[in-house]
Chains A and B, each alone.
Chain A
Amino acid sequence: MSVALVLGGALAVACVVLVALPFLREPAPSSDAVDALDDAERDALELAETRDRALGALKELEADHRSGRITDHDYRALVGTLRRDAAEALRALDRGGAGPGPAEAKSS
């Protein structure tokens, strides 16, 4: 009984210390705000995702065509659009998130 109580107490104390650690380490931080992405960073992230999607699609099409999964006819029908999307995504990212992504650009 006493051993169990001691062990239980030690467990509770250890947990409390771990939970309180951020406050013990930084009793008076200069900023206590959660580090979230600001609007510009969020836009850049979305553009990077769009770029990766466009480049990935182009790369996969090239690989599928090279291996014979995609016929010349289908390849020619798709490659132009994908190249335009990839180029637009890269340009938008270079502009630092000022311009629209390829999907938005196409729909507008």
Chain B
Amino acid sequence: MAELGRAALAVTLGLSLYALLAGGYAAARGRRRLALSARNALIAAFGSTLVATAVLVTGFLRDDFSLAYVAGHSSRALPTPYKISALWGGQEGSLLLWLLILTGYSALAVWLGRNRLRDLLVWVTPVLAGICVGFAWLLVGVSSPFEVIGAPLDGRGLNPSLQNPYMVAHPVLLYLGYVGLAVPFAFAMGSLLSGRIDERWLVATRRWTIVAWTALGIGQLLGAHWAYEEVGWGGYYAWDPVENAALMPWLAATAYLHSVMIQEKRGMLKVWNVVLVSLAFCLSLFGTFLTRSGIVSSIHSFTQSSIGAWFLGFIVIAVIFATTMICLRLPLLRATAKLESLISREATFLYNNLLLVALCLTILWGTSWPILSEAVRGEAVVVGRPYYDFFLRIFGLPLLLLMGIGPLVAWRRASLRGLSRTFAWSAGAAVASGVVLIALGAGSSVPGLIAYTFAAFVSTTIVAEFARGTSARRALTGEAIPRAFSGLVARNRRRYGGYVVHAAIVLLAIGIAGSSAYDSVAEGRLARGETLSVAGYDLTYRTLSERDGANATEIRAVLDVRRDGDSLGTVSAGKNAYAVEQQVSNEVGIRSDLLTGEDLFVIAEQVYDDGSVQFRVFVKPLVNLIWLAGLVFLLGSLITLWPDAREQRRLVERYARAARSNRRAASTP
């Protein structure tokens, strides 16, 4: 069936090319039927890409090793879920997944906007098609997943690190995020191309951006959890280039989600918003480039390839195109209002934006430096953890504080007297927390102490916000507290969903500060019966076992865990030896205390012939708050995304004229 896969991808390329050229011509000349035809081509491109993907997945499920990609990333013994996830275990399959999501998003975007945004979509279609052309060309002309070889008896298997449940979901979510940022970019560029710089592109892309941003955020957390469990070095984020590649567009999109509110509420920052949308998309391309080109050394990069130059070309084209369009349309992007005071909601959002973009660009510089230094001096100079940690504190801590300040400052201008009253409780809680933490000995880490103090400030602000809002609604409607609370959230989903997301960031900050600033570590070579002590825990090495798993030999050392004399059960750590892949992986032992959020983290670094084992043991306070933050983040995003019937009615009324003018065309398929 390789021919069908190749043919389907060739059809996708043809359709995308047609949508780009015919769509561009139709938009420039105002040809309605040709524009609809281009739109249909984009929708059909999703269908043909789906066929190509189905062919490759079938190849994996049927162990069709005549496909070089299947032979290179699967084996007969590989469990079925990993045979499916092996689709994105290598370069060609990942590109196919990119294209599938891109064409899927594109088809959905042009279909959902077919009535209200028809005149804007005429310009959006060729932009989306242009991106599809790039990826379809890579799969057809440069790196095909349907190369055929003489079928070996068995495949080479999947990289053991990827044989993890988190790796089934993590790449898909990251790609949903990366690719999702193409939609707001296309709408922004479509709006600039059309010369209609009203707010429709903002309204149309708000949910797309939040979906992409949420997927990227959750994808990163799942990736962090995978690194924590699978890579086995005792951490969850190492400022690895590929990790940074996902963080940068997320930071740019976060800045955009805040600054877009200023444009909606005050008609300001129009240029800045288009710049942020373009930056987020270009960074998502850069992220894929880093992951897929093999240009940097990373534990997350599973390939070395020659597509780097193509990706670099795409990034350059995207940057030049976006910059040109913004420059050409500058006169249309004038703000309709000015910043009235440095103490106002829009000013705090602006500070937030500057910090987010500064952090993003700092990470970009650190990530790019090895590439640049290698290109210039012939030697890759890697930027280390201290660089990133320094800038995370410099920019991240003020950001944390602003999260508590911004939502409570009035639009336009606020008085210092008013602010001092509004923030009295929050400031009091922050100071009290700081004093208590110093008394408890948390002063050993100044950044950790500051993070906790700011977290207390923001938490109090969020709780006070919900309490004030519920109380005001009760006073207005006479409803009981639960009903007033749910009514408050339901009528202000963006605002209160945003507060829930802020609560998630607070949890994340507490978890990161706790697990990195106040962690403990011990290591030692233990024979059976010997004990290692760390942070109040006593671990006694008992047995070493070996058994054959589904596709690996599993060696496990079992340790008894005691704390303050009480037995807490056992924890196992060891290694898996994968016969087909000829690789060994670390399998760490983790004992989580869900009440305190603390983890006991055990690595069996070396198993010796005499049965003794070299252990490294970490105690990580509050680390589980990081994973809890993921759930809260998802909840907040869902609240924000949930359709708001009142807002929909308002928008329908606002766009009635545009809809009326397009009604005649709406009946045409």
Nearest to B264 among chain A residues (CB) is: A53
A61, B410: Cβ atoms under 8 Å? yes
> Do A35 and B662 touch (CB < 8 A)?
yes
For residue B424, give the distance in angstroms from its CB to the closest CB of chain A.
Answer: 11
Q: Are A37 and B418 in contact (CB under 8 A)?
A: no
B669 A37 Cβ-Cβ under 8 A: no
Tell me, yes or no, whether B86 is within 8 Å of chain A by CB. no
- Of chain A, the residue at the smallest CB distance from B36 is A22
Residue numbers of B with Cβ under 8 A of A are 1-4, 7-8, 11, 15, 18, 26-27, 30-37, 40-41, 43-44, 47-48, 51, 118-119, 122, 194, 196, 198-200, 264-267, 336-337, 408, 410-415, 417-418, 421-422, 465, 468-469, 471-472, 475-476, 650, 653-655, 657-658, 661-662, 664-665, 668-669
> How many angstroms between the C-alpha atoms of A38 and B118 in the bound complex?
14
Cβ–Cβ < 8 Å partners of A66 in chain B:
472, 475-476
Q: How far is the CB of B142 from chain A (nearest CB, A)?
A: 21
Whether B11 contacts A12 by the Cβ 8 Å rule is yes
Q: CA A13 – CA B414 in complex, angstroms?
A: 64
User: What does the 1/0 interface line of A21-55 toward B look like (CB < 8 Å)?
Assistant: 11101100101111111100110111011101100
- Point out the residue from A5, A22, A73 that lies within 8 Å of B415, measured CB to CB: A73
Q: In the assembled complex, which residues on chain B have CB atoms less than 8 Å from the CB atom of A19?
A: 15, 18, 37, 40-41, 44
Q: Is the CB of A8 within 8 A of B417?
A: no
A32-91 contacts to B (CB < 8 Å): 32-38, 41-42, 44-46, 48-50, 52-53, 56-57, 60-61, 63-64, 66-71, 73-74, 77-78, 81
C-alpha gap A11/B4 in the complex (Å): 9
A8 with B654, Cβ < 8 A, contacts A18-B40, A33-B30, A63-B472 known: no
Contact B422 A77 (CB under 8 A): no
- Report whether B41 and A52 are in contact in the complex, using a CB–CB cutoff of 8 Å: no
Which chain A residue lies CB-closest to B2?
A4
Question: Could you tell me the distance in whole angstroms from the C-beta of B519 to the nearest C-beta in chain A?
Answer: 38
Q: Are A32 and B33 in contact (CB under 8 A)?
A: yes
Sample 27 A-B pairs with CB under 8 A, ordered by A number.
Answer: A11-B8, A11-B48, A11-B51, A12-B7, A12-B11, A15-B44, A20-B37, A21-B40, A22-B32, A22-B37, A26-B668, A35-B118, A35-B664, A37-B658, A41-B658, A48-B653, A49-B198, A53-B264, A57-B266, A67-B468, A67-B471, A69-B422, A70-B410, A71-B421, A73-B417, A74-B414, A103-B336
Q: Do B196 and A42 touch across chains, with their CB atoms under 8 A apart?
A: yes
Central interface residue in A37, A68, A70, A77, by most chain B CB within 10 Å: A37
Chain B CB within 8 A of A7 CB: yes
Bound-complex Cα distance A66 to B40 (A): 51
Interface centre among B4, B415, B417 (most CB of A within 10 A): B4
Q: With A18-B40, A21-B40, A22-B37 given, is the CB distance from A7 to B4 under 8 Å?
A: yes
CB B398 to nearest CB in A, in angstroms, measures 22
